[in-house]
Amino acid sequence: MRPYRITHIKELENEAIYVIREVAAQFERPALLFSGGKDSIVMFHLARKAFWPAKVPFPLLHIDTGHNFPETLVFRDQLMEKTGQQCIVKLVQESIDKGRVQEETGPNASRNKLQTITLLDAIEELKLDIALGGGRRDEEKARAKERFFSHRDDFGQWDPKNQRPELWNIFNGKKNMGEHFRVFPLSNWTEMDVWQYILMENIDIPNLYFTHEREVIERNGTWLANSDCIPPLATDKIVKKKIRFRTIGDMTCTGAVESEANSLEEIVREVAASRSTERGTRYDDKRSETAMEDRKKEGYF
Amino acid sequence: MNALKPTKKSKGYLDMELLRFTTAGSVDDGKSTLIGRLLYDSKAIFEDQLTALELASTNRGHEHLNLALLTDGLKAEREQGITIDVAYRYFATPRRKFIIADTPGHIQYTRNMVTGASTANLAIILIDARLGVIEQTIRHSFIASLLQIPHIVVCINKMDLVEYSQETFEDICDTYMEFATKLDVQDIRFVPISALHGDNVVNRSKNMEWFNGPTLMYILENIHIGSDYNFLDARFPVQYIIRPYSQEFHDYRAYAGRVASGIFRVGDKIKVLPSGLTSTISKLELFGNSTEETFASQSINMLLEDDIDISRGDMIVKENNLPQQSQDIDIMFCWLGDKPMLPNGKYILKHTSSEVKCKVSQVTYKINMETLERDKTVDSVGMNDIGRMVLRTQKPLFYDPYRKNRITGSVILIDEATNNTVCAGMIN
């Protein structure tokens, strides 16, 4: 039956579309978490495929830390305009102003942890019963045990020891009032798969992923973009380098890599030859061995 | 351009197959080390992970790089030094991409192995060469056969601790084959390995030149998985109805779903269950790309010539090949819930995209997992119990036997009070 062979990337696509459609069928008020990073861009692309020619039957939700790269926000707005999709934006700054969270201080301050509260507040305010995320199991060891349909209790928290068994492709999205789900259609994808898919589908991504010249400063072995969001240290040396970003998060914690990659093909080649994981450039994961697991339990993506 | 057509010429990364496999073993037979070895020798470990691993090994006072630490996910597990849930791992070689469902082997975690096995094409069963076939080997193999994993690879590990003895290896193979005759598995292979030293995992062992078979990695990369799908019985569970209500697509109405099995072509005469209404496929498409045919595992929009009433939970099949239909469903079950089965036996049943109420009308037997014998004196059903039962559903189910079709032959039961998934069922 050779002609009916299916490649791994198509199988992952079929699986993700199936999961996204299952969300639309099983829940009343979904939203797709959108950060402007490549994983959420791929998620949105898959969602459009899943429902075409109808529009995606739920809004996007961006938790804006206020520390985004300006390029990311421009990209987001252009994409929404092109596709006619609604994107709800919730600001971490508002949570700070309302006194819901306390801003971290010091030279390595980050709003990464604060966005959890803004997200949980948004879920409650918008009465969402499920948030779709682009999380992948290969990203970090705490994510290796995440289900496709991940149940969160009344407080938005994840209990790794009390997860529902997930068999075949039957997903159980039943819940009580106040509880919600996080669903991860890209669970089985790796960084390489995401890049191959972007290449195969020719999906637009922000320029930040391609090589460009930029002022950077070094913090603990990570190159960070020089910006107003990072309080300067006396020891900082600002240098200009040809860099690109492998992941896009906050300017305060997203490390750049030196690279000449100018096209999707070159990025795929670079990722294939790379000897470190993409989260290796994430400053926030380096805080402790279980940094991600601790944040997840509190309700992080 | 037709994005749905299978490609023939090789495109490197874009032309790899996906193999999902599960690993099962007892607590100390080196499963985590084996997975670590596969990742390490296939160069799937990155430098920052390796640095973290070296640091963690040194912190714990281990002499060597402890490959097992690579797969230990959660904090609680690392503290106790055991794996407590299904963890998924990914690696790729130039030929294939692999998804490992790494499941713990303790008795109390049978449910995790069932979960991991439900999507696997292949199972690796680990045996400690010093201990041979033990009770857990039998349990794991039985679950693999119950869940109809098409291929089993028995890895006899720790060969270094039995002086790489050919006789020990062959004795274990003989014992295994003796009880395997009771199992329903078509393809069983054996490999003598040492995960710790890497013998016959990725690289051929110099210590066991008497072994002529392929290494574990060779099997993983080359085993034929194309025929694991059912291409005979066309089944399309309707997942979602797509209606754009837009100017451009005013009357558009498509049935969205993932083909469970078989092949559908434009022009095929179809029947909708349960209504029994018939029509003809007018179009198959996804995101504006139409195709003449679609087959098992593809997510697609199906359009019909006639405007008929179809909703989620219905199944589209071909007129000349119908599934079975009944309200009395005879299943092999594995109880997953931590609470025993309710006295009234009432649950919600999920089967493909449909959902009905059901009641356990009879527990036929439980299987004694030590002897694999049937125990017909059933007084209760609790976590990790495996056996056979009959369910009475509120409405008829359209299904195929699990042996023929893993998608249309599987069900789960949900407890209405807790919303938990409490039981997995394979229809006989």
Nearest CA among B112, B133, B272 for reference residue B190: B133
Residues A107 and A47 in one domain: yes
Q: How far is CA A14 from the centre of its chain?
A: 20
**Assigned token pair, A120:** 């949980």
The answer to whether B229 contacts A187, with C-beta atoms less than 8 Å apart, is no
CATH number at residue A146: 3.40.50.620
**Contacts of B76-80 spanning 24+ positions with Cβ under 8 A:** B76/A160, B76/A161
Pairwise CA distance, residues B405 & B324, whole Å: 12
Rounded (10°) CA dihedral B246, B247, B250, B253: -30
pLDDT reading at A71 higher than 80 = yes
Verify that A125 and A217 share a domain, yes or no: no
By CA distance, what is A15's nearest residue in B? B299
Given a cut of 60, whether residue A279 has pLDDT beyond it is no
Q: B395 versus A160: which is more confidently predicted?
A: B395
Asked if residue A277 and residue A146 are part of one domain, the reply reads no
**For residue A199, is it within any domain?**
no
Per-residue pLDDT at B72 = 58
Residues A189 and A213 occupy one common structural domain: no
Whole-number pLDDT of residue A283: 52
* CA dist., res. B71 & res. B93, Å (int): 19
Residue B73 has a pLDDT of 52
**Are both A58 and A185 inside the same structural domain?**
yes
B5 part of contact set with chain A, CB < 8 Å:
no
Determine the distance in angstroms separating the CA of A183 from the nearest CA of chain B, rounded to an integer: 16
Phi, psi of B328 (to 5 degrees): -110, 110
Residues A16 and A136 both lie in one domain: yes
Q: What is the predicted pLDDT for the residue at B13?
A: 62
Probe site for chain A from B83, B297, B302, B354 (most A CB atoms < 10 A): B297
Looking at the structure, tell me whether residues A224 and A126 fall in a common domain: no
Question: In Å, what is the CA distance from A220 to each residue of A223, A225, B373, B374?
Answer: 8, 14, 61, 62
Query: Does residue A256 form part of some domain?
Result: yes
Judge whether A180 lies within some domain. yes
A97 vs chain B: nearest CA distance in angstroms?
A: 34
**Cross-chain CB nearest to B73 (options A12, A145, A166):** A145
- Examine the domain organization and report whether A144 and A270 are in the same domain: no
Across the strands, what pairs with B355? B350
Residues A172 and A54 in one domain: yes
How high is the pLDDT of residue A80?
95
| pLDDT number for residue A244 | 92
Q: Are residues A72 and A149 in the same domain?
A: yes
Enumerate residues 218 to 247 of chain B having a beta carbon within 8 A of any beta carbon in chain A.
226-227, 229, 231, 239-240, 242-246
Give the pLDDT mean for A98-114.
77
* Residue labelled with tokens 């992941």: A247
**Subunit contact A11:B296, Cβ cutoff 8 A:** no
The DSSP string of B319-349 is TTBPPEEEEEEEEEEEE--SSPPPTT-EEEE
B window 96-135, beta carbon within 8 A of A: 96-97, 99, 111-112, 114-115, 118-119
pLDDT at B79: 55
Strand partners, B354: B351
Which residues of A are less than 8 Å from B241 in CB distance?
none
With bands split at pLDDT 50, 70 and 90, how would you rate the model's confidence at A1?
Answer: very low
A282 located within any domain: yes
Whether A88 is in a domain gets the answer: yes
Q: How far apart are CA A241 and CA A224, in angstroms?
A: 11
Contact residues on chain B for A50, CB-CB shorter than 8 A: 256, 299
Which residue of chain B is at minimal alpha-carbon distance from A159?
B74
What distance in Å separates the CA atoms of residue B46 and residue B67, rounded to the nearest whole number?
13
Please tell me the total count of domains within chain A: 2
A272 in contact with B, Cβ within 8 Å? yes
Is residue A15 located within the same domain as residue A69?
yes
**What's the pLDDT score for residue B179?**
87
- Nearest chain A residue to B244 by CA distance is A54
Share of chain A above pLDDT 70, in %: 88
Residues A12, A140, single domain; the answer is yes
The answer to whether A7 contacts chain B (CB < 8 Å) is yes
Q: What is the DSSP string of B68-93?
A: GGGG--SHHHHHHTS--S-EEEEEE-
Q: Which residues of B touch A14 (CB under 8 A)?
A: 258, 297-299
Inter-chain CB proximity A51 and B256 less than 8 Å: yes
Is A258 domain-assigned?
yes
For each of chain B's 428 residues, which pLDDT tens digit applies? Answer: 333 333 334 455 667 889 999 988 776 667 888 888 888 877 766 666 667 767 776 777 766 667 666 665 545 555 554 445 778 888 888 889 999 988 876 655 788 888 889 999 999 999 999 999 988 888 889 999 999 999 999 999 999 999 999 999 999 999 999 989 888 888 999 999 999 899 999 999 999 999 999 999 999 999 988 777 889 999 999 999 999 988 888 889 999 999 999 999 999 999 999 999 999 999 999 999 999 999 999 999 999 999 999 999 999 999 999 999 999 999 999 999 989 998 889 999 999 999 999 999 999 999 988 788 899 988 899 988 999 999 999 999 999 999 999 999 999 999 999 999 999 999 99
**A252 within a domain of the structure (yes/no):** yes
**Residue A170 lies in domain:** 2-193+290-297
| Interface contact A170-B411, CB threshold 8 A | yes
pLDDT at residue A9 in the model: 93
- ipTM confidence: 0.90
The 8-class DSSP code of residue B199 comes to B
**Amino acid at residue number A234:** A
Inform me whether the pLDDT recorded for A209 exceeds 70. yes
Among A109, A111, A108, A123, which Cα is nearest to A27's?
Answer: A123
Domains delineated in chain B? 12-227 (3.40.50.300), 235-318 (2.40.30.10), 324-427 (2.40.30.10)
Is B153 an 8 Å CB contact of chain A? Answer: no
Q: What does the DSSP 8-state code read for residue A165?
A: P
Evaluate whether B16 touches B96 at the Cβ level (below 8 Å): yes
8 A C-beta contact, residue A249 and residue A298: no
Within a domain: residue A188? yes
Indicate yes or no: CB of B231 within 8 angstroms of CB of A169.
no
Q: What six digits make up the tokens of B192?
A: 């003598």
